[in-house]
Chains A and B, each alone.
Chain A
Amino acid sequence: MKKKKSYDYARFGYIFSIPFVVAWCIFQLYPILYTLVIGFTDLKGIGTKNFHVLWTTPFANFTQILTTPSFQTAFKNTVFIWLMNFVPQIVLALVITAWFTDRRSTIKAQGFFKVIFYLPNIITAATVAILFAQFFQYPKGVINDVLINLGIFKNGAVDMLQKKWVAQGIVIFIQTWMWYGYTAIVMISGVLGISPELFEAAEVDGANQVQTFFRITIPSIKTMLLFTLVTSLIGGLNMFDIPKLFLNGKPDNSTLTTAVFIYNQAFAGSYLYNRAAAASVIMFIVIVVLSAIVFYLLRDKDEVALRKLIRQQEKAYKRKQKGL
């Protein structure tokens, strides 16, 4: 009787997981598969509901996308913008972490600084993009005004957003500015989670602050760095709001990212759903492959070895039990 009841309880594990599974299948799994299918079809044009699979040239959309110059530019831009914002972001976050967690000198008002550093992250990205576009207005904008008053622009206002590298640089700046605070808070909490005994031992051994930071702090938050790298990579490869609303890819495709490219292919006039789907699938593969590489390269080798050892011993134990 009692046994039957405990069996009954296990049933609820499945029952309570049903809503999640159903919603996931409808709103995520089906769209993923459907995107993949559309990539192999001729689905385009507004209001089209019928489409055909391109049996004779199944990869037509994919080759088309991969040879489109604007997609290539978009891909290069996306990787470049992500890298150029990730590196300063992680360096700045680590510097702040080193300062805020130094055991020998305490920085006051840390809580205040954290709140202020995180502020740009909570503001709607769409608003931030348009705000910066306003600041760089030509001929009358905040930045032009400041630079003229400082005597840097001697010949009057400059239409800075027409320059490719300036436009790209601003997108990079906005991304860094929005995310370094988040990364710093994550890192600080990671460092605060390290056992204090480790630091005490380092102090006793006579390590200075720099040594302690590179030899103890960084290795201890390796998993966290890895996690930040992967989430930032995925977010960066899907960058949309800022480049879309700041300049919509202009000037000369210099701020065009792959997400903006996909959106413009499908929803901004041309309605080439099949091409957009093919581009999405390509990005999906890139993301999965890159994440897998990062995880593989930075995996904890000691842990892997330990797990292997445990598995071997378990097997040996089982063999022993079987009397072999």
Chain B
Amino acid sequence: MANNSNGLELTVQGKEKKGGSIVLKIIIYIVCIFLALLSVLPFWIMIVNATRSTTQISQIAISFIPSTHGFNNIKILTSKDTFKPLLGFFNSFIIAGGSTILAVYFSSLTAYAQVVYEWKLRNAFFSFIMAIMMLPAQVTMIGFYQMVYQIGMTNNVLMLILPSIAAPSMVFFMRQYLQPALPIEIVHSARIDGAREFFIFNRIVLPIMKPAIATQAIFSFVGSWNNLFTPMVLLTDKKHYTMPIMVSLLKGDIYKTEYGCVYMGLTLTVLPLIIVYIFLSKYIIAGVALGSVKG
């Protein structure tokens, strides 16, 4: 008897627990869907409004159905001779591309020096990299600007590209990746075959690092593409303006009443990123997670 009732109680308890978890599950899905909508809606409204005329927007500001005035908005936008999406795209592409290539190449090289060679200052140098990893660019900007200004290079894009050679956090990541991934025997056997050290790095080690390079390249590129502070300080010549500076021009008075135009301008700056994200999101999310484990 006692046994029986005990068993009954247990099943009742079990059922209750299951019921509770279903309610919890529903709550979790509702919250997650709400957050997902919160992430997407602002951009959806932006894209929809980019296709609506200024008159439409001033009648009803919010809509979820695209209209047909997209091309007209682009026409008005570019006719003002201030916001030039193609030029901004080109400039950003050169700067982000150049600094990404330099950053991944030299970070890999520095990491390789850490992993393969036994040198006296190796550990000291690594501690140094760890220490400078979190140094923010903003607090050094005045000195950087004055230095660049005095050598007359303020409108030279090289000043935005070359600093990427020293990317401490990327060196850290590359080192963590390379340490278990590189079989040292490969380096030894290449040496026996008479390969030079530099050749070994370029032809044997870089291909091994491809997955790490790909992830880091994405983040470096996006980071540089989105950077507003440094280009805004250094670039005064309109023909060098990057995408984020172009975006900041949309705040100007000439676009004040052109709602449709502003939304179109914003959309044009975001669209390349969204397209890239659709294709690479898997790697980007994995990269965020990976960087954290190592960091």
Contact = CB atoms under 8 A, between A and B. Distances in A.
Interface string A243-265: 01100000000000001001100
Given A28-B140, A116-B40, A38 B285 contact: no
Given A185-B285, A234-B134, A144 B61 contact: yes
Interface in A14-39: 14-17, 19-24, 27-28, 30-38
A276 interface: yes
B85 interface: no
A126 B270 CA distance: 10
Nearest to B285: A114
A118 interface: yes
B288 A16 contact: no
A308 B245 CA distance: 52
B262 A245 contact: no
Contact of A10 (B60, B118, B266): B118
A65 B157 CA distance: 32
Q: Which of A117, A122, A128, A266 has the most CB of B within 10 A?
A: A122
A123 B165 CA distance: 25
Given A13-B122, A30-B143, A23 B162 contact: yes
A13 B187 CA distance: 14
B244 interface: yes
Contacts of B139: 32, 35, 238, 280-281, 283-284, 287
A15 B197 CA distance: 11
A37 B59 CA distance: 56
Interface of A: 9-17, 19-24, 27-28, 30-38, 43, 49, 96, 99, 104-105, 107, 111, 113-120, 122-128, 130-135, 137, 140-142, 144-146, 177, 181-182, 185-186, 188-190, 193, 224, 227, 230-231, 234-235, 237-238, 240-241, 244-245, 259, 262-263, 266-267, 273, 276-277, 280-281, 283-284, 287, 291
29 contacts: A13-B122, A23-B163, A28-B163, A30-B143, A32-B143, A34-B143, A35-B144, A38-B143, A49-B149, A111-B285, A113-B35, A122-B284, A123-B43, A126-B228, A130-B250, A130-B251, A134-B259, A140-B58, A142-B49, A185-B288, A186-B288, A193-B293, A230-B134, A238-B136, A266-B145, A267-B233, A277-B143, A280-B141, A284-B140
